[in-house]
Amino acid sequence: MTITLDYSKALIKENDLEEIKHLALASKDLLENKNGAGAEFLGWTNLPENYDQDEFLRIKEAAKKIKDQSKALLVIGIGGSYLGAKAAISALTNNFHNESCGDDQVKIYFAGQNLSESYLIDLYNLLKDQDFSINVISKSGTTTEPALSFRIFKDLLEEKYGETAKERIFVTTDKEKGALRDLALKEGYETFVVPDDIGGRYSVLSAVGLLPMACAGIDISQMMEGAEAARLKYKNPVFEENDALIYGALRNILYKKGKDIELMVSYTPELSYFSQWWIQLFGESEGKNSQGIFPACGNFTTDLHSMGQMIQDGRRNLFETVVLVNKSAKDLTIKEDPDNLDGLNYLVGMNLSEINRKAFEGTIDAHVEGGVPNIVVEIERLDAYNFGELFYFFQKACGFSAYMLGVNPFNQPGVEKYKSNMFKLLGKPGY
């Protein structure tokens, strides 16, 4: 098993799952038979089996071309158009990837996910003397933040490379519409498609996530294989054997018990952007009609020294979902110090992951004792295969969970409000 779900510390009653089983199976039926709200955005469910093989090859070729011609790739996108790639790259490459890149590797930078002048100027100054390429990603092709960043860095590329700048621009967008699509066609940029039936936060296993990942050296074939294994696994019609369905059900049980904040916890900083991806997935999918569990995250043990007190003793309205990695990719063993002035010799011979595991065991028991339900999703190791499975697990669980809550998991009407206010203030025509 590459992913296991442990809910022995979820603080639920024996018959809670039995009671919600009917609702859970009904939500599964809605999702898999495409009878629920937003059913036109279920393309991601079959993606690992049904992806465009020609485009997949072009993604690999584009990644090679980018590596051959550039030392850096600038990924421009926001929300679902960057968080999946950022999550995978943070988890599956060196913690200091950009600083430790060899000659055959490409540094990865991100823009378009904020409107900070200083961020963009600093990035501009960093990139202006490097050979770089751009992958601009926007399903709608009209989102302001990435469009602004693209304008700035496209200008820089054109200044540096003139006519051949277009060889360094790769566009991932809708196949037919949007300003980015029109621009790509006019300028002759290579394009990749965000399929019509896949929304931003469910798009990580399409070109949206795969091209930046391939450029970072991640084995995207392995990732699709892991996702395919998950696709088969979480179709299981037996409630008791379907962990994605059980996780969705547990969330709904806990929500009904007044637990309306869920903390995604990890014990390794490589997973901190995975938590951000998960926050968007669940937050945008469920936060509707004055409902939904507020998704937050904790990077432990770091945050035990900041949020630990609140989690242990504060308002009892939260639960934790821990994503635990069973085997660390690296090994660091504590050596003996003859003076033992720091008093750490009792740890001699242990490696950091054993110590981290004890931190997890101690923390979960403390938090559960303090009345915080805990769910543990354990994965074997951080690699492309497992990550493909993990992405798919949470996407499927999110669809199930949102249908159990009675909301459309695939729209995000609330995101428009800030945009129209901002456009009015900026004097955008039509607002």
**Which residue's CB atom is positioned nearest to ligand PA5?**
200
From residue 103 to residue 132, the character string flagging contacts with ligand PA5 as x (rule: CB under 6 A) and all else as - is ------------------------------
Q: Which two tokens stand for residue 273?
A: 């952007």
If the CB atoms of residues 80 and 212 are measured against ligand PA5, the closer one turns out to be 80
Per CB under 6 A, 143 contacts ligand PA5? yes
With CB under 6 A as the contact rule, the residue among 36, 38, 48, 80 that binds ligand PA5 is 80
Peptide bond into 301 cis (omega under 30): yes
Measured CA distances, 192 to 43, 50, 229, 305, 328 (Å): 16, 16, 25, 44, 34
From residue 228 to residue 257, the character string flagging contacts with ligand PA5 as x (rule: CB under 6 A) and all else as - is ------------------------------
Stretch of 79-87, 384-392, 394-402, 423-431 lying at the interface with ligand PA5 (CB under 6 A): 79-87
If the CB atoms of residues 176 and 339 are measured against ligand PA5, the closer one turns out to be 176
DSSP E strands in 153-312: the ranges are 169-173, 190-193, 261-266, 294-299
Active site members: 284, 305, 419
If the CB atoms of residues 188 and 414 are measured against ligand PA5, the closer one turns out to be 414
Per CB under 6 A, 283 contacts ligand PA5? no
Residues 6-25 that bind ligand PA5 (CB under 6 A): none
Q: How many secondary structure helices (H) and strands (E) does the chain include?
A: 16, 10
Residue 67: its H or E element: helix 53-69
If the CB atoms of residues 81 and 242 are measured against ligand PA5, the closer one turns out to be 81
Q: Which two tokens stand for residue 355?
A: 């110590």
Give the up-direction half-sphere exposure of residue 134: CA atoms within 13 A in the CB hemisphere: 30
Angle between helices 144-161 and 179-187 (to 10 degrees): 10
CB 80 within 8 A of CB 280: yes
Per CB under 6 A, 200 contacts ligand PA5? yes
Per CB under 6 A, 86 contacts ligand PA5? no
Residues 295-334 that bind ligand PA5 (CB under 6 A): none
Stretch of 34-42, 199-207, 286-294, 344-352 lying at the interface with ligand PA5 (CB under 6 A): 199-207
If the CB atoms of residues 36 and 79 are measured against ligand PA5, the closer one turns out to be 79
Q: Considering the complex, what minimum distance in angstroms separates the CB of residue 39 from ligand PA5?
A: 16
Q: Considering the complex, what minimum distance in angstroms separates the CB of residue 85 from ligand PA5?
A: 12
Residue 401: its H or E element: helix 384-405
With CB under 6 A as the contact rule, the residue among 140, 221, 351, 356 that binds ligand PA5 is 140
Q: Report, in angstroms and rounded to the nearest whole number, the Rg of the chain calculated over CA atoms.
A: 22
Q: Considering the complex, what minimum distance in angstroms separates the CB of residue 142 from ligand PA5?
A: 7
How far apart CA 123 and CA 106 sit, in angstroms, is 16
Per CB under 6 A, 412 contacts ligand PA5? yes
If the CB atoms of residues 148 and 261 are measured against ligand PA5, the closer one turns out to be 148
Q: What angle (nearest 5°) sits at the alpha carbon of residue 260, between those of residues 249 and 374?
A: 60
CA 271, distance to chain mean position in Å, is 9
If the CB atoms of residues 143 and 276 are measured against ligand PA5, the closer one turns out to be 143
Identity (one letter) of the amino acid at 10? A
How far apart CA 401 and CA 304 sit, in angstroms, is 28
What is the total residue count of the chain? 431
CB 260 within 8 A of CB 293: yes
Chain residues in the site for ligand PA5 (CB under 6 A)? 78-81, 138-140, 143, 146, 199-201, 284, 412
